[in-house]
Amino acid sequence: MRPLHTVAIALTLFCCSLAHAEQRGTRDEAVAMVQAVQQMARKEGLEATFASITRQDAPFKKKDLYPFVYDFDGLSVAHGSNPKMVGKSWMTTKDQDGNYLIKRMSEVATSSDGRGWVSYKWPHPITHKIQDKAAYIERLGDRYFVGVGVYMERD
């Protein structure tokens, strides 16, 4: 009876890990979500796009992915996971490793390319544990940048 019990536990753990993996967004999905934000901003304007991102039923949420928008000075204007962040400056916010993540994202957005990846640590919206994350950042208009982050798998 014990071997059957052990197999049942192993299968349960395997299925749970598969379900969790399916909840993780990919780098390609992050880039696609940034492009969707860009498209909405062109069609409906920045204010409507910011409001749509920040709504809790936001159409941009997918798996553990969500967009965020800051101005180049670090002011949060839209956040798809935590609306309490909106309206506050985060330029001096550091991650667990002491990196100024919003400052770095702003630097990427204002670079000649206006886009790129930034690595940092951030709480996972589902597990609330600090995890490694990489966000794809793109300039949005003349004053903002949009990003979508991907939580990195831990072994």
Banded model confidence at residue 17, pLDDT cuts 50, 70, 90: very low
* Under 8 Å between Cβ of 106 and 70: yes
Confidence of residue 11 (pLDDT cuts 50, 70, 90): very low
Q: Give me the pLDDT at residue 152, please.
A: 86
What share of the chain has pLDDT > 70, as a percent?
Answer: 83
Residue range 119-153, pLDDT digits in tens: 999 887 778 889 999 999 999 999 999 999 999 87
Ranges of beta strands (E only) in the chain are: 67-71, 76-79, 115-123, 130-140, 144-151
Average pLDDT across the chain, whole number:
85
Total domain count for the chain?
A: 1
Helix orientation angle between 27-44 and 46-54, rounded to the nearest 10 degrees = 130
Which pTM value belongs to this model? 0.82
* Higher local confidence (pLDDT), 22 or 52: 52
Which CATH number covers residue 133? 3.30.450.20
Q: Which domain holds residue 114?
A: 2-151
